[in-house]
Structure 1
């Protein structure tokens, strides 16, 4: 029977709904600053997420819908770069000022881990500055054992490299960890590293094939706040809309025995 010794989190979409409440909002603030009279709403941004990369999304919008004013083709590349640079600055500002709400149950389960002496880590391929701002500003009450982000690895998820580095950094075995993910690529990365995976869905990943996750819920849930819904797994867990760390450690210790 493997004892659970660590919980490890992806960042975007797991700790914070960064696409909806962070990047999208930062893009809209940037457009307004630059004098453009349009915004990306939640549904349209979901469509844009099918285009990989922030600069590429802006270029796609420019070429399909326009910016509401003429953009000289020779100046397009420089404008896109300026917009994206400012958008990143605003995104970091949103994090540092605490404007991005944590997803339900995140801080609670981290505090439960601290109380039990479990290691806590973040393994994300998101921007390193953003990841550190989330870990050390928004979640400054939490003691992280490692935060691995940005270009710390060469291969992005679904490659398991970032999770394998997490195991090495934390001196952990795969079966000793519970990973919290939200996407098909993230689940594939954690599973390829041999880890247990709890999936929390969100607006932008709920239509993906998340079936490789061991337990799938809409969110971790809070006793006095938003409750989650169990979609898959968790057999034997007395589930009432909140996943507790004690339940998860017992569950995964049991299935690994």
Structure 2
């Protein structure tokens, strides 16, 4: 069976949440005359909620509806969230295109290694597809990005930490869980991938360094690019002995070790 390497987007391809999504949300609030500005700390708490539209929905408290003149009708709220989210996505993709957010170390390198070795490449994210495509092309270049399958946005009924997006990826890629390694950066993402039966490598990001990554097959500061941007190993339950950067043979050993571990299974949940 052909193996697959599946990346989350935000925090994995680039550290986008604090310096990309957050300012885009706040600029949208200003554009629509909404007197709300999420702080770095508040947005960090909102990241426990999967999906930008779902985070916007938290604004519709009875107090905010009364204070800001927001609609009380659920259908009108849904329509306004869609308008806000469309504006925010356009602002975010323009920010990514400007090149101000660098790709995380090792992303382009490991993707190119995997493609050359015959692995399937994919992104599975709860972000809007346009945002994911923009980050992916920025992180690995348009040519390499064109080899990825992208599963993003509202294509599944439940977002992370539910496993739906990963179950969809398994189904569409035609691979078994034992043939997949996921790269995630958050506890929610780890729970989603593990619920789908997938070995998960975690590269912590600015918002997630202190989260619980129990169940991850490897936890590192990044995938690493030597000599200038080495990775530090934070947890190595299978004793892979990664030194400085995670390479494809490390990921293959991780996949094999996770598949052979007691209590694991090669069978995923049915889509």
Classify the TM-score, shorter chain.
0.7 to 0.9
Residue in 2 aligned with 1:152? 155
Separation in 2, partners of 1:155, 1:32: 29
Contact 1:145 1:170 in 2 (8 A): no
Contact 1:95 1:138 in 2 (8 A): no
What is the Cα deviation at residue 34 of structure 1?
7.0
What is the Cα deviation at residue 9 of structure 1?
0.6
Alignment partner of 1:161 is 2:178: no
What is the Cα deviation at residue 29 of structure 1?
4.0
Residue in 2 aligned with 1:130? 131
What is the Cα deviation at residue 155 of structure 1?
2.0
Deviation per CA, 1:70-90: give whole Å up to 9, x if none.
Answer: x99463459x85665533321
Separation in 2, partners of 1:238, 1:121: 26
Judging changes above 3 Å, is the alpha-carbon distance between structure 1 residues 56 and 221 closer, same or farther for their aligned structure 2 residues? same
What is the Cα deviation at residue 200 of structure 1?
1.1
Residue in 2 aligned with 1:105? 106
Residue in 1 aligned with 2:269? none
Separation in 2, partners of 1:193, 1:54: 24
Contact 1:135 1:144 in 2 (8 A): no
Judging changes above 3 Å, is the alpha-carbon distance between structure 1 residues 161 and 43 closer, same or farther for their aligned structure 2 residues? closer
What is the Cα deviation at residue 229 of structure 1?
1.9
User: Mind listing any 5+ residue stretches in structure 1 that lack a counterpart?
Assistant: 64-70
Q: Secondary structure at the match of 1:256?
A: helix
What is the Cα deviation at residue 175 of structure 1?
0.8
What is the 5 A alignment of 1:71-110?
73=67, 75-76=69-70, 85-110=86-111
What is the Cα deviation at residue 172 of structure 1?
1.0
Alignment partner of 1:16 is 2:18: no
What is the Cα deviation at residue 165 of structure 1?
1.7
Question: Aligned pairs, how many?
Answer: 247
Contact 2:184 2:202 in 1 (8 A): yes
Residue in 1 aligned with 2:266? none
What is the Cα deviation at residue 238 of structure 1?
3.5
Q: Secondary structure at the match of 2:216?
A: coil
Separation in 2, partners of 1:50, 1:167: 24
Q: Secondary structure at the match of 1:121?
A: strand
Judging changes above 3 Å, is the alpha-carbon distance between structure 1 residues 49 and 190 closer, same or farther for their aligned structure 2 residues? closer
Contact 1:234 1:251 in 2 (8 A): no
Residue in 1 aligned with 2:197? 194
The normalised TM-score by structure 2 is 0.76
Separation in 2, partners of 1:112, 1:181: 18
Judging changes above 3 Å, is the alpha-carbon distance between structure 1 residues 185 and 31 closer, same or farther for their aligned structure 2 residues? closer
What is the 5 A alignment of 1:45-56?
45-47=43-45, 49=47, 53-56=54-57
Residue in 2 aligned with 1:25? 23
Residue in 1 aligned with 2:244? 241
What is the Cα deviation at residue 48 of structure 1?
5.0
What is the Cα deviation at residue 252 of structure 1?
2.5
The normalised TM-score by structure 1 is 0.80
What is the Cα deviation at residue 22 of structure 1?
0.9
Judging changes above 3 Å, is the alpha-carbon distance between structure 1 residues 75 and 254 closer, same or farther for their aligned structure 2 residues? closer
Separation in 2, partners of 1:34, 1:212: 42
What is the Cα deviation at residue 33 of structure 1?
5.9
Separation in 2, partners of 1:145, 1:88: 21
Residue 210 of structure 2, aligned match among 198, 207, 210: 207
